[in-house]
Amino acid sequence: MKTKEAQIIQLDFADEMKNSYRDYAVSVIIARALPDVRDGLKPVQRRILYAMTELGLSPDKPHRKSARIVGDTMGKYHPHGDSSIYDALVHMTEEFSLVMPLVDGHGNFGSIDGDGAAAMRYTEARLSTGAMTLLENLDKGLVPFGPNFDESEKEPLVLPATLPNLLINGTTGIAVGMATNIPTHNVGEVIDGVIAYIKNPGITTKGLMKYIKGPDFPTGAIITNADAIEEIYETGEGKLTLRAKTEIEKSEYGRQNIVITEIPYTVAGNKTRLLENLISLMKDKVFDEIYDVRDESSKEGIRLIIEVKKDRNIENLLNGLYKKTAMEDTYSVNMLAVKDKQPITFNLKMLIGEFVAFQEELYTKEYKHLLAKATDRLEIVDGLIKATDVIDLIIEILRGSESVRQAKACLTAGNITGIRFKSKKSEKEAQTLDFTERQADAILAMPLSRLIGLELLKLHQESDVLHANIEEYNKVLGDRAELHKLIIARLKNYKKQLARPRLTELANMEKGKYVEEIKEEELFILIDRFGYVKSVDSQSYSRIAEESLKEYTHIVSVKNTDKLCVFTAEGNMHQVKVMNIPKGRNKDKGVLIQTLCKVENENVLFYIGLESLLESQLFFATKQGFVKQVSGIEFETNRLTIASTKLAEGDTVAGITALTVMDVINPDEKVILITKKGLSLGFPLYEVSELKKTSRGVKGIALEQDDYVEYAAVVSPEQEEIVFEGKRFSPGKIRNRKRAAKGQKAQIRKGDKS
């Protein structure tokens, strides 16, 4: 008996994690997420189709409950949960996801709107006609089989696909550290491309594109960067821009309708979300041009109506919709698939080459199978024909034998031991018999009806047919050109059955610029002491009582097309589009300024509209006593956050004042600085230099140790008094003198600019 110590295995944790994660990653890549380059199927899809084949669910048979199909697949081949199997089954029924659906669903299997499928106990399914192109000749031993997860069953490791399913239906999958995204293509175009490759293996990508013009999505729409397709087909990677197909129709009261008739493939299964997005943009007045949005889709096709207000620029609105909605979207192509258990990125020619090589392998095996079958049958037919010529002797042998084994030995080797013959002649003839084992078995099992003249004629005719067939099979197996003829003939037959016109339009379109059509209006931005901000129109503002206005620490007059500039003590300026500030009534609280810009933990000092800022000078004063003037033009930028001033280490902005041109040239305008220790200083504004925003400024006040500027402002000569620390005094009398620094901070009563 082993001790506990002997059962302990010492492992390096890092090595074990590395090995385990690698094994997991390989399992996901090979056995779950990526398709096989030969049949274009992921393991779960292949197992579902095989389970349906075993259930006999061919296109001409009745539908069977999806729950039965899922149960068989999970119990025999794919023990990863019924929901993942049913999701894969549902996906294979979706005409808006696949060009050639592999499963014919009966019942509610969801819709392009985004509705989910009904539970598997309610729906039914069977194989589609397209699926049979992947399953044909599965019983002929053309593809390898392997054990299932518990080795109780055998399953195909690949299906004998005779159509390039990977190109036709495409695929999407996310593995560990890699992903695949192969677009769908037109069946007829792909078949023509494959035939062209078979006839000329040296064909270029450009040559293939004469047949395979580009991806063809089941939802139609427009690829607007068709020039990028050739590079994508060369490299196996790239991005396609998909745009909804629209029409312009006249509506009532002089309005016009934008009618969306086809949507991008990326929105397939999410049409309702696109509709909801359009409605929310209308309600939020992001597009003021939209009067109404509605869905008039039916079985005939998609019809989303965007009703546009009278006398509006529809082309401009369309450009805006393409920019801000999924009406225009990007499809990232990554043609990754598994070959010989290795994930490889393929280009178009490589994909077709792999398919053709697989077809050559399949057809070779198929014709070897047919040749072996015909040869075996010919052996039996020739034996029966030969037997009819000596049928009297055979009957005599059978009547004289004591067992079947004894008779068979005589037929195959001329062994007459123990057999009773009527004459020496018959005995001598019996010794010359040399039928094969198969022929002997067939003779012994032959019914007497085969001796009828007509039956004998049929045997001779069958022999002639078998000889002709064997000659044909040998010809195909001995000549690659003949093999290619057969592949091409079958592909052409599939084209007649499955081809349909192209749905996706290929074009080269530039992205149109959207100019926002905004009706200008005066707004007031109200900010309270907690940082909650909202906007009200001028009419609503006029109705707010004076007492209510006192609750707001900052009130900024702006236009709705303007931006609100937010200056902080940390020396930053943040910008917020006024249209992004929610409108509200007096009772509404608003939203925190932090949700509109990246203020986060900064201390906001000053708010101003961008238009006013560009026409102003800003006076800056810092805690360490530096002062400067900066032209508002310096703050013109498209960036949401910039540095408003340069600060020394440990310094912050103590005060900011906006100055008009009249303020700057007025010799009586005065700068007031008050420190934490009560030191106050006043001096003319014109003594403060105008500098760049990137400069620190000049020293405005000499500070004692541990003292700092607590209050800074520019005041007019009309200023009556300042209340600082609860004491009132005239700004004009402020010199360099000390005051008690207790209680409230200094405030300017009238004309406050800070």
Lowest model confidence (mean pLDDT) among 11-15, 19-23, 160-164, 336-340: 19-23
Candidates 413, 224, 447; CA nearest to 331 is 224
CATH no., domain 354-497: 1.10.268.10
What pLDDT score was predicted for residue 311?
85
Q: Could you report the per-residue pLDDT of 401-453, keeping only the tens digit for each? A: 888 888 888 888 888 888 888 888 888 888 888 888 888 888 888 876 666 76
What pLDDT score was predicted for residue 423?
83
> What are the strands, taking DSSP E only, across 32-78?
64-65
Q: Which residues, in sequence order, are CB contacts of 567 under 8 Å at separation 6+?
A: 573, 604, 605, 606, 607, 608, 644, 653, 656
Q: Could you report the per-residue pLDDT of 124-175, keeping only the tens digit for each? A: 999 999 999 999 889 888 999 999 999 999 999 999 999 999 999 999 988 8
pLDDT category of residue 544 using cuts at 50, 70 and 90: confident
Pairing of strands 336-339, 563-568: unpaired
Candidates 440, 458, 446, 337; CA nearest to 379 is 440
Helix runs in 390-403, H state only = 391-400
Q: Could you report the per-residue pLDDT of 313-322, keeping only the tens digit for each? A: 899 999 999 9
Q: SS in 3 state form for 553-574?
A: EEEEEEECCCEEEEEECCCEEE
Torsion of CA 271, 272, 274, 279, to 10 degrees: 150
Tokens in use for 155?
A: 């399953």
At residue 683, does pLDDT exceed 50? yes
What pLDDT score was predicted for residue 253?
85
Provide the CATH topology of domain 615-754: Neuraminidase (2.120.10)
Residue for token pair 């745009």: 243
Of the residues 50, 122, 197, 708, only one is catalytic, namely 122
Q: Could you report the per-residue pLDDT of 53-111, keeping only the tens digit for each? A: 999 999 999 999 999 999 999 999 999 889 999 999 999 999 999 999 999 999 999 99
Count of C-beta atoms within a 10 Å radius of residue 25? 14
Kindly list the domain boundaries of the chain, sorted by start residue. 21-182, 245-326, 354-497, 518-604, 615-754
pLDDT category of residue 548 using cuts at 50, 70 and 90: confident
* 37-60: average pLDDT: 95
Q: Residue 240 is inside which H or E element, if any? A: strand 237-243
CB 229 within 8 A of CB 209: yes
- Told to judge if 50 belongs to the known catalytic residues of this protein, a careful annotator would answer no
What pLDDT score was predicted for residue 729?
55
Beta bridge partners of 125: 64, 105
At residue 517, does pLDDT exceed 70? no
Q: Could you report the per-residue pLDDT of 588-610, keeping only the tens digit for each? A: 888 999 888 888 889 999 999 99
CA angle 399, 405, 408 (to 5 degrees): 75
Residue for token pair 């396609």: 240
| Between residues 23 and 40, the one the model is more confident about | 40
What pLDDT score was predicted for residue 731?
62
Interhelix angle 348-389/187-199, rounded to 10 degrees, is 80
243-268 exposure pattern, b = at least 16 Cβ within 10 A, e = fewer: bbbbeeeeeeeeebbbbbebbbbbbb
Task: Select from 3.30.465.10, 2.130.10.10, 1.20.200.10, 3.90.199.10 the CATH code of 21-182.
Answer: 3.90.199.10
Q: Could you report the per-residue pLDDT of 250-306, keeping only the tens digit for each? A: 988 889 999 999 999 999 888 999 999 999 988 877 888 899 999 999 988 999 999
Q: How far apart are CA 576 and CA 587, in angstroms?
A: 23
CA angle 133, 139, 140 (to 5 degrees): 95
SS3 459: helix
At residue 547, does pLDDT exceed 70? yes
What pLDDT score was predicted for residue 269?
87
At residue 747, does pLDDT exceed 50? no
Q: How far apart are CA 387 and CA 434, in angstroms?
A: 11
**Any idea how long the chain is?**
754
CATH no., domain 245-326: 3.30.1360.40
Whether the model pTM is above 0.75: no
